Chain A
Amino acid sequence: GESVGLHLPTLSVQEGDNSIINCAYSNSASDYFIWYKQESGKGPQFIIDIRSNMDKRQGQRVTVLLNKTVKHLSLQIAATQPGDSAVYFCAENGIKAAGNKLTFGGGTRVLVKP
């Protein structure tokens, strides 16, 4: 069945360094992927998305890379700041899924050390 998973449950990073969060997905038919950030006590917040016809997309301080060959997704955060401390989820919306059903990965906690 469809599933989205993460390799690293916790990532500690020094303030100012770059962070890389990885995600594997199993549904080769997935055509849309999203990264969400969830801070303590809040709901998930959209960060960036990418369609399957792209392999890279950049936002403000964030870059998402998609490798369809190995079904792998990553989120890179440049110059990580204390405010980046949160749990990050990848999610996918399967091509055959009705509506806008998102399948979320297990999440990676990012801890930024001052």
Chain B
Amino acid sequence: DSGVTQTPKHLITATGQRVTLRCSPRSGDLSVYWYQQSLDQGLQFLIQYYNGEERAKGNILERFSAQQFPDLHSELNLSSLELGDSALYFCASSVDQGKNTEAFFGQGTRLTVV
């Protein structure tokens, strides 16, 4: 167990809908990351937050947004869902924000868009 908690574990929703994925980082970790894992794109970095502030951004779609709250948990919001958004979404956390900081991954949320 990495100590990173993601909910829900599975989510099935229809195209056009909006969902929110939740992540609780390891105790003491200030940085959270979101990654998308799909069959055709592999593991793709979406976004990083550190202590409530956006720190780095990847190829995150405009339909997607994220935030980190004062209690350090994070939410990833996915809207106007398309079939191609079906994927595993991982949250990771680390103590620090910078490079060379080991990131611990949660078990992921499997999103299926039908």
Residues of A within 8 A of B (CB): 31-32, 34, 36, 41-46, 49, 51, 89, 91, 93, 97-107
Contacts and interface: CB of A to CB of B under 8 A. Distances in A.
B74 to A, nearest CB: 14
Nearest to A89: B43
Given A43-B106, A99-B48, A102-B45, 16 more contacts: A34-B102, A42-B108, A43-B90, A44-B105, A46-B104, A89-B43, A93-B100, A98-B55, A99-B97, A99-B98, A100-B56, A100-B96, A101-B56, A103-B45, A107-B42, A107-B43
B43 A49 contact: no
Given A43-B107, A44-B90, A45-B2, A100 B42 contact: no
B30 to A, nearest CB: 12
Interface size class of B (residues with CB under 8 A): 20 to 34
A7 to B, nearest CB: 15
Nearest to B44: A104
Interface in B80-99: 90, 92, 94, 96-99
Nearest to A98: B56
Interface in B34-81: 42-45, 48, 50, 55-56, 58
Contacts of B107: 41-43
Given A98-B56, A105-B42, A43 B100 contact: no
B108 A43 contact: yes
A99 B54 CA distance: 9
B24 interface: no
16 contacts: A34-B102, A43-B2, A43-B90, A43-B105, A43-B106, A43-B107, A44-B90, A44-B105, A93-B99, A97-B99, A99-B56, A99-B99, A100-B31, A100-B56, A104-B43, A105-B42
Interface in B17-34: 31, 33
